[in-house]
Amino acid sequence: MVIMVNGKQIEWEENLTIKSLLKKMNYTFPKIVVRVNGKVVEQKKWAEFKVPDQAEVQAHHLIAGG
């Protein structure tokens, strides 16, 4: 009952959406590219996309500083 988010083990929960996962991780940055098991999930689908158990999630913040 765990998922990997950016290489770190996170507890999975029922009906975990990408939106709620990012909130849980406190990922507030406006430009994040999310891949679930290697596939990009568009931002407009984050509220309904359910993250499956055992998923590998990459939440890449596209920021390279000033």
* Single residue of 7, 15, 38, 44 touching other proteins by CB under 8 A: 7
What residues contact residue 16 under an 8 Å CB cut-off, 6+ apart? Answer: 3, 50, 51
Q: Does 9 bind other proteins (CB under 8 A)?
A: no
Q: Does 29 bind other proteins (CB under 8 A)?
A: yes
User: Which range, of 11-19, 21-29, 44-52, touches other proteins by CB under 8 A?
Assistant: 21-29
Footprint of other proteins on this chain (CB under 8 A)? 6-8, 26-31, 33, 40, 42, 58-66
